[in-house]
Amino acid sequence: MENKKLGVILIVVGILLISVIYINKYQEDKLINKIVLEQGSCFLEDGTCLHEDRSSVLEILGLIISAVVIALGIYLIFFEKSQKEIVSALGKQKQIKVDEEKFDILLKGLTAEEKKVIKAVKEQDGITQATLRLRTDLHKSKLSIVLDGLEKKDLIVRKTKGKTKQVFLKINI
């Protein structure tokens, strides 16, 4: 919300700067016209023309600065959302990386068969034991022993569904 307020302030400052430049130019033109009406010519006694003597460099510089200030104000107003989205996406990526690191640490304390089973269950939470047996290429009895060990370590939970059992991760990774 701060960016929006700052953006509005910058736009107002830019518009005020443009107004000051044009008011100054208007007053200068008014003065030149007054001198021309009084003297009947725009040339001074030394031969210089009042119109050529004017410095437009400051006007151009002022207009460029005000355009930059207004553009910055517009950027702050309209692109604040994209910054929040970027920060949010970076936060999500960081959380994914942290979760992966936790999972890698967990795997270091497991046997090769337990690693296969945990990875397969993580890929498909609620996987049936029959599907798990095919994915891990473990014999039915070996898979049952590995699952019992993982249940004792409080890493998974098995729930009966009809004639089969589904395997779920008990930890949140």
Q: Which residues of the chain have pLDDT under 50?
A: none
Tokens 């008990």 label which residue? 170
Residue among 92, 93, 142 nearest 117 (CA): 142
Q: What is the pTM of this model?
A: 0.50
Q: 135: part of which helix (H) or strand (E)?
A: helix 129-136
Per-residue confidence (pLDDT) for residue 80, from 0 to 100: 64
Look at residue 81 in the predicted model and tell me its pLDDT.
66
Q: 110-169: which CATH topology?
A: Arc Repressor Mutant, subunit A (1.10.10)
Q: Looking at residue 104, what is its pLDDT?
A: 84
Nearest Cα residue to 157 out of 165, 149, 148, 167: 167
- Extents of the domains making up the chain: 2-78, 83-108, 110-169
What is the reported pLDDT for 141?
92
Amino acid 66: pLDDT: 92
**Residue 3: how many other CB atoms lie within 10 Å:** 17
pLDDT reported for residue 43: 75
Residue 89, pLDDT score: 85
Q: What is the pLDDT of residue 38?
A: 82
Predicted local distance difference test score (pLDDT) of residue 56 = 75
